[in-house]
Structures are given as structure tokens and as C-alpha cells.
Homo-oligomer: A and B are copies of this chain.
């Protein structure tokens, strides 16, 4: 049987890094999805195996903590493994290493599987193979996934955006990494010069549809900690808590 832990290398291409010459959070998030996709494919519960059963994976929550951002023209290694499975959710963890094998970050993610037609959750315990790959020996020393409270008042309304062709996935909904891209773009580039995002936590709540105008609400909860909320009129589509250090 193939090992429960997957290990994948990603080159931090210079043309993809930000103005600091470092990987961006949406880029790291994209690599995480690539690693998760490969890990699942190799173990029999990837995209094709799922669609053959009329199911798709849906990301529900995610937290990424970076102690250091990899520099351009280096290789980042992502380890990923499944830590738990129940009827509704499976939790997947990640660790990130720089070119020298130094641990530079961790991430946690919570996934559900929905029926392609009904969009209702399906039972993950019925999913062939998944439970056999649970790997508990590996530490992931960052805070767990939490529910981010709704912003009720004292928030700032930022310009927002209209969901376009490049934003949407195969379901015509905003793709998971594009949420992060739109959230980090709320901050002025000068903040990235002096500080770094140490932790980002995301709750994916509803689907952002093509053509929708999404507002982004922003409130600084404490010094350097922001809660942002993406809304389609009254519907909360996605929330995030971003901690700068």
C-alpha cells in the first residue's frame, strides 16, 4: 500500500512571486490544492474517482501559518496527509519545507464531499479507501480550524469586485484560491513591505456565483488581526481572519 503521507515539490518561479520576491499566500494555497489533488489521486479518491461516483470535493475551512515565505527560484516541499474522517468531513494537514528541509509553515483544511446533482453532502465513510489512509503520527503545531464570527458593526466597506470568467471553477463558482487573492488584495501593498501575514484562516460558507458583485467588509479586531467578510447582498459567502506579524 502506498504511504499515507504524500510529499511534493514546487518551484517558486520568479515571475509568480510578489514584489518582495517571495511566494504569495494565493500561490502557496494553489500548491496546497495541487498537493492535495495528487495525494488523493494516487490513493484512489481523487477528482476522477469522485466524479465517477457523482461526487466532488468541497473545501469547507482552511488555515495556513507561515513562519517564513519561500524566496523565488527555490523549491518548496509540501507534505500532506489525512488526519480524520467522519460522515461529513475529513481533515487534511500540510507541512511546508524550504530548500534546506527547514519547516517554514503548516496548514489545516476541512473537506466535505457533495453530490454533483443535488449539491448535498455525501457520506465520507462510504468513500472507498479514504479511512485506510488516516495518519496520526505527524504533528501540525498550529491552532485548529474555528468558526469566524459574523461582522455585525464597526466594519469598513472596501471596494469589492465582480466575479469574472477567470474567477470561477467548473461549477461556475468562485474558486477556493481566488477568495484568498481577493482578500489579500484588500490590504495596501505597503503593509507587505513592513509585515507578513503569519496566519490566514478561511471559512467557505456559500458559493460566489459568476457575475455577482461581492462586497468585502473589513474590521481590525485587535492590533494586526483583521476579520474580512465577503458578501453577496445579504448572504455571507466567505469569512477570513488574517493575522499580520
Instruction: Point out which of A72, A168, A170 has the most chain B C-beta atoms below 10 A from its C-beta.
Output: A170
Within 8 A of B (CB), among A200-225: 210-211
Cα distance, A145 to B181, chains bound together (Å): 32
Most buried by B among A14, A16, A184, A187: A14
Q: Which A120-134 residues sit within 8 Å CB-CB of chain B? A: none
Q: How far is the CA of A20 from the CA of B169 in the complex (A)?
A: 8
Known: A48-B73, A210-B189. A169 touches B13 (CB 8 A): no
Interface residues of A in 146-182 (CB under 8 A from B): 159, 162, 164-172, 175-177, 181
Contact yes or no, A17 B187, CB < 8 A:
no
Main secondary structure of the interface of A (DSSP, over half): mixed
Given A165-B185, A165-B189, A210-B189, residue A37 in contact with residue B14 (CB < 8 A): yes
Residues of B within 8 Å of A11, CB to CB, are 34, 37-38
- CB-CB under 8 A from A172, the residues of chain B are 19, 189
Q: List 21 A-B contacts (CB under 8 A).
A: A11-B34, A14-B170, A15-B37, A15-B175, A16-B175, A18-B165, A18-B166, A18-B168, A18-B169, A19-B172, A19-B210, A21-B170, A26-B166, A47-B72, A164-B185, A164-B189, A165-B184, A165-B187, A166-B181, A166-B185, A172-B189
